Amino acid sequence: MFLKNAWYVAAWADEVTHNLQQITVLNQKICIFKSQSGDFVALEDACPHRKLPLSKGRIKGDTVECGYHGLTFDCSGKCVWAPGQGNIPSNAKVHSYPLHEKYGLIWIWMGNSALADHHDIFEIKNYNDPSWGINRGDAMELECNYLLMCDNLLDPTHVAWVHAGSFGQAATKSAPLRVKKTDDGVIVHRWMLDVEPAPFYKKVVGFKGNCDRLQHYEVRYPSNALIKAIFTPAGTGGSEGKLHEDVFIMDSYNFMTPVTESKTRYYWFQLRNIRPDDPELSQLMTDDVQHAFEEDQNVLNEVQKGMTNKTSPHIDLPIDAGQLRFRRQLQAMINEEVQVDKQMAQ
């Protein structure tokens, strides 16, 4: 089950061209392309006649021609030509999904179009601030349900085991977690004081010696995350109030798009508060993050198989508190949406 009235990432903007492409979001097949005028368009990928995917047809200017009998649709999904049929049948139309381009990503609204408001897209502080550098991320396919990745991004402890060579360090094995519910998600966070910087951060922080480290893991409904890392000289951390001048901050943005119940497309990029115009630093961080996310991918693909094929019950641990809270609230939102849909259908 998925929350439909929400924005999801459909693609990186530069992945979509003036060619028809099929993507799948929330189990729905979508034909996506860029119009001649440069607008992004997403149509239900099924001709209303015999359900040939429109992505198997042809793009003609700003219209899409079905590859079977030529019904032709404009960017709003309206049929504008029905060769040899006299009048255009009034029910010859396909759904057109609201899209919005933001942060180099194309966001798609999967629910009731009347409720789509692009101001509701995940807010990113500092995105256009020239004093912050960006590591342009990537996307990967996960062979798992999107909620397993949400769990992972509400779990600061896994870095000790999954990312021992990069984000993990001894303190991440046992420092206590704090869980906070917000209006639009859940945060699991902790400060670790007077600890050695983890290997990945040791290479990039601008100070020597021990640090105070914050792990802030936040997922907002339905499946968008901010993972904030703060490293500040030991003795200057413990709160996010006034930060030391040498503080290193990395905000990692992570967007999980459910493809099916057992497949997810995972998008990300990071912002950092140091050396914004240093391409070598960007490359180093991009490569290390990619490597770390492949470590997550390997674990989560196996967790999906393990949970699907389990022959004995699984257990929850105290470290799962934030994840369980997130899942409960998201399920309540989905249930409410289903109720509203049912009432509207009556």
Report the interface residues with ligand FES, using CB under 6 A.
47, 49-50, 52, 66, 68-71
Per CB under 5 A, contacts with Fe ion among 326-345 are none
CB-wise, 218 or 296, nearer to Fe ion?
296
Check residue 296 for interaction with Fe ion (CB under 5 A).
Answer: yes
180's enclosing H/E stretch is strand 178-181
Check residue 288 for interaction with Fe ion (CB under 5 A).
Answer: no
Question: Residue 188 binds which entry of Fe ion, ligand FES, none, with Cβ cut-offs from 5 to 8 Å by kind?
Answer: none
Q: What dihedral do alpha carbons 63, 65, 66, 71 form, nearest 10°?
A: 90
The minimum distance between CB 163 and ligand FES, in angstroms, equals 49
Token readout for 224 is: 């968008």
The long-range contacts involving 235-238, CB below 8 angstroms and separated by at least 24 positions, are 235/194, 236/212, 237/191, 237/193, 237/211, 237/212, 237/213, 238/191, 238/193, 238/212
The terminus-to-terminus CA distance of the chain in angstroms comes to 21
* 150/26 Cα distance (integer angstroms): 16
Question: Residue 296 binds which entry of ligand FES, Fe ion, none, with Cβ cut-offs from 5 to 8 Å by kind?
Answer: Fe ion
Question: Residue 52 binds which entry of Fe ion, ligand FES, none, with Cβ cut-offs from 5 to 8 Å by kind?
Answer: ligand FES
How many other C-beta atoms lie within 10 A of the C-beta of residue 39? 12
Check residue 251 for interaction with Fe ion (CB under 5 A).
Answer: no
Question: Residue 71 binds which entry of ligand FES, Fe ion, none, with Cβ cut-offs from 5 to 8 Å by kind?
Answer: ligand FES
The minimum distance between CB 148 and ligand FES, in angstroms, equals 37
Question: Residue 11 binds which entry of Fe ion, ligand FES, none, with Cβ cut-offs from 5 to 8 Å by kind?
Answer: none
**Is 222:6 a contact under the CB 8 Å cutoff?**
yes
The minimum distance between CB 141 and Fe ion, in angstroms, equals 16
The minimum distance between CB 222 and Fe ion, in angstroms, equals 20
The minimum distance between CB 48 and ligand FES, in angstroms, equals 8
Strand partners, 258: 264
CB-wise, 85 or 112, nearer to ligand FES?
85
Q: Is the peptide bond before 313 cis (omega within 30 degrees of 0)?
A: no
Question: Residue 244 binds which entry of ligand FES, Fe ion, none, with Cβ cut-offs from 5 to 8 Å by kind?
Answer: none
* 333/59 Cα distance (integer angstroms): 38
- What amino acid occupies position 332? A
The minimum distance between CB 31 and ligand FES, in angstroms, equals 12
DSSP, collapsed to helix, strand or coil, labels residue 1 as: coil
**Is 39:18 a contact under the CB 8 Å cutoff?**
no
Contact positions toward Fe ion, by CB under 5 A?
Answer: 296
